[in-house]
A and B are shown apart, each in its own frame.
Chain A
Amino acid sequence: MNEQATQAGNAAPMVEMRGVNKWYGDFHVLRDIDLEVRRGERIVICGPSGSGKSTLIRCINHLEEHQAGEIVVGGVPLTQDVKRIEQVRRSVGMVFQHFNLFPHLTVLENCCLAQTWVQKKPRREAERLAMQYLERVKIAEQARKYPGQLSGGQQQRVAIARSLCLHPEVMLFDEPTSALDPEMIKEVLDVMVELAEEGMTMLCVTHEMGFAKTVADRVIFMDQGQIIEENAPEPFFNNPQSERTQLFLSQILGH
């Protein structure tokens, strides 16, 4: 684990995307994406729905397959090679909009599943680590319950703990708070902020602009499958350059 935030700027890139293009049938979803994420960097991606932001981060752990261009994660280029895909997925954690906890397993079992079957750890050790992370997301007392018995916010925190158990080098967040009731958003964001402060490399697709302002190193605005604007949060919010960024920001911050 890289507990200390590596000095941004001179470390090797954690994620590299060069000229990435993707189509759904004839629909051109990702257009010439170039993106470099340094180790320890926190990036927030925003944009209107259908702009390709989810697709972009889902390409990073190969849940979606890109058709042109190159993606390198932690020095491993993503190709059709199943071994490499699994290797990349082991180092990339992902949190989904709809949590996607396994309803037939308890919270604890959800967290141990990949540890015992992929990392081949003894069960006791896996449980100890799982409890440690559940403790960190403040939900250890629910470990023996099933996901269906938890609130949305609790489920999402479990989902974060489940990813962290594999010691990922990058965490991907795909609209982690969009399916939550307003009073539960904060408990999830708190966990994410804490994670960011510990120096985790993060890519978040989110509309929580408060989170972007306090945590992000860079904010990326996407529209129609391309990266329109990319800047540090301060200039991004105070002085957006592109017309469409301005329009988007006025729409979501307007009221």
Chain B
Amino acid sequence: MSVRPKAPSVGTKPPFWRDRAKRALTFQVLLIAAVVLFLLYIVGNTQDNLAARGITTGFGFLTNTAGFGIVQSLIDYSSQSTYGRTFVVGLLNTLLVSALGILAATLIGFVVGIARLSPNWLIARLASGYIEIFRNIPLLLQIFFWYFAVLRAMPSPRDSLTLGEVAFLNVRGLFLPEPQFLSGFGLIPLALGIAVVASIVLLIWNKRRHEATGKRLPAGWISLGLVVGLPLLVLVITGVPVTWDVPELRGFNFRGGFTVIPEFLALWLALSIYTASFIAEIVRSGIQAIPHGQTEAAQALSLPQNLVLRLVVVPQALRVIIPPLTSQYLNLIKNSSLATAIGYPDLVSVFAGTTLNQTGQAIEVIAMTMAVYLTISLLVSMFMNWFNARVALVER
């Protein structure tokens, strides 16, 4: 007869290093302690270092006069403005180039991504050539290419490249005519507003009518006509109350009109072209992710080709495309910080660059800069969570 091993009595507690709950607790307490000690060490060192360099901490410097100019600003700014205003100018410039970059990258990306799936062999090859070239070259190199090799190599203002003597491209940037609105122009935004409201009403009415009777008008085309046509009509009736301030060569540079600085152009081009190559891949794989059976089933229900796309393929492809698309948008916003390498006055360039150098407030400046990007990231990921929860396919 074998000896039965002694069963552990129910009441005995294991030593604490074998108790799961206690072990977890100990581990976490140790982690917190380590982090706190590390932070204390850093803070202590930092205080010593700052004291040795005679730098006072705090955000007081934001109200001091900056004393430097910025080449592009969306709000009033002069060298008499404060560092706080510098921060806002930089932030707005970052948002400007990001917004326009997202717009252009999305357009190029969708066109190239769809072209990549074209039945036309040549078009598909061209599209994949675009993707493979631009996404495998560092963005900074592309920015340098556009800035130093293309825009800085433009002719001087006297020999500008010109488009119909109204727009000029030279080493100083792109000079465009600027509209000057005369009295009576106010009617045009009004007409546009009316057209937009009418289109929305039409679209809603059309949807209701479709649900009620099954009949529908080509409301999309009608709305497009309204939104474009009505303001144009008003413009013609009121006798075109706009004059254009055309840039003119005076001495060594152009005066008047609207100037796009070369730094902006280079950054915007590089960001759009680079990000578009990633968006194109996302669009391609999003469309390919829809099983062919979906298209066939829709065709078997005798849906015509445009409705197969609109009602079955696109809604499903979009939910595959949108999450990685937003993270590309986020990348574009973060990448816009490369502006500092060519001197476009974005947040990093004017604030984490010039302001930091002038004031020496490294910790405050870097913290504020990072906080801006973190806030944007947080907002975008909140949107993504909301979106995913809303459109996620319902499955068991």
Direct A–B contact in complex, judged by CB atoms less than 8 Å apart: yes
Q: Which residues of A contact B (CB under 8 A)?
A: 61, 63, 82, 86-87, 89-90, 92-94, 96, 98, 100-104, 113-126, 145-146, 148-149, 159, 162-163, 166
Q: How far is the CB of A205 from chain B (nearest CB, A)?
A: 14
Determine which of B212, B296, B303, B391 lies in contact with A118 in the assembled complex, contact meaning CB atoms within 8 Å: B303
Contact A113 B301, beta carbon cutoff 8 Å: yes
Determine which of B215, B296, B300, B395 lies in contact with A120 in the assembled complex, contact meaning CB atoms within 8 Å: B215
Q: Is the interface of B mostly helix, strand, loop or mixed?
A: helix
Contact A113 B393, beta carbon cutoff 8 Å: no
Determine which of A82, A145, A163 lies in contact with B301 in the assembled complex, contact meaning CB atoms within 8 Å: A163
Kindly state whether residue B394 has any CB partner on chain A within 8 Å. Answer: yes
**Residues of chain B within 8 A of A86, CB atoms compared:** 302, 304
Q: What 1/0 flags go to B148-179 for Cβ under 8 Å of A?
A: 00000000000000000000000000000000
Contact A98 B296, beta carbon cutoff 8 Å: no
> In the complex, A61→B316 CA distance in Å?
24
Contact B297 A113, beta carbon cutoff 8 Å: no
Contact A162 B213, beta carbon cutoff 8 Å: no
Closest partner residue, chain A, to B394 (CB atom): A146
**Residues of chain B within 8 A of A122, CB atoms compared:** 211-214
Q: How far is the CB of A11 from chain B (nearest CB, A)?
A: 24
Of B230-238, B307-315, B323-331, B378-386, the stretch lying at the interface with chain A is: B307-315
Contact A148 B396, beta carbon cutoff 8 Å: yes
> In the complex, A101→B302 CA distance in Å?
15
**Residues of chain B within 8 A of A100, CB atoms compared:** 291, 293-294, 296-297
Determine which of B214, B301, B395 lies in contact with A162 in the assembled complex, contact meaning CB atoms within 8 Å: B301
B-side interface residues, number (CB < 8 Å) = 31
Q: How far is the CB of A98 from chain B (nearest CB, A)?
A: 6
Contact A119 B214, beta carbon cutoff 8 Å: yes
**Residues of chain A within 8 A of B214, CB atoms compared:** 115-116, 119-123, 125-126
Contact A89 B300, beta carbon cutoff 8 Å: yes
Contact A148 B394, beta carbon cutoff 8 Å: yes
**Residues of chain A within 8 A of B293, CB atoms compared:** 96, 98, 100
> In the complex, A121→B304 CA distance in Å?
16
> In the complex, A90→B299 CA distance in Å?
10
10 CB contacts below 8 A, A to B, read A86-B302, A94-B300, A98-B291, A100-B294, A102-B298, A104-B316, A113-B298, A118-B301, A119-B214, A163-B301
Determine which of B212, B215, B299, B305 lies in contact with A124 in the assembled complex, contact meaning CB atoms within 8 Å: B212
> In the complex, A149→B300 CA distance in Å?
23
Indicate whether A93 sits within 8 Å of B303 (C-beta atoms), given known contacts A100-B294, A116-B210: no
> In the complex, A124→B391 CA distance in Å?
25
> In the complex, A203→B330 CA distance in Å?
53
Q: How far is the CB of B325 from chain A (nearest CB, A)?
A: 18
Contact B394 A149, beta carbon cutoff 8 Å: yes
Closest partner residue, chain B, to A118 (CB atom): B302
Q: What 1/0 flags go to B218-234 for Cβ under 8 Å of A?
A: 00000000000000000
14 additional A-B pairs beyond A102-B298, A103-B316, A166-B301, beta carbons within 8 Å, are A89-B301, A100-B294, A103-B395, A104-B315, A115-B214, A117-B307, A118-B302, A120-B213, A122-B214, A148-B393, A148-B394, A148-B396, A163-B301, A166-B302
Contact B296 A96, beta carbon cutoff 8 Å: yes
**Residues of chain B within 8 A of A101, CB atoms compared:** 297
Indicate whether A102 sits within 8 Å of B393 (C-beta atoms), given known contacts A113-B311, A120-B216, A121-B214: no
Determine which of A61, A82, A104, A124 lies in contact with B393 in the assembled complex, contact meaning CB atoms within 8 Å: A104
> In the complex, A144→B311 CA distance in Å?
18
Indicate whether A89 sits within 8 Å of B297 (C-beta atoms), given known contacts A102-B312, A117-B311: no
Kindly state whether residue B319 has any CB partner on chain A within 8 Å. Answer: yes
**Residues of chain A within 8 A of B215, CB atoms compared:** 120
> In the complex, A104→B307 CA distance in Å?
15
Indicate whether A61 sits within 8 Å of B394 (C-beta atoms), given known contacts A98-B293, A123-B211: no
Closest partner residue, chain B, to A98 (CB atom): B293
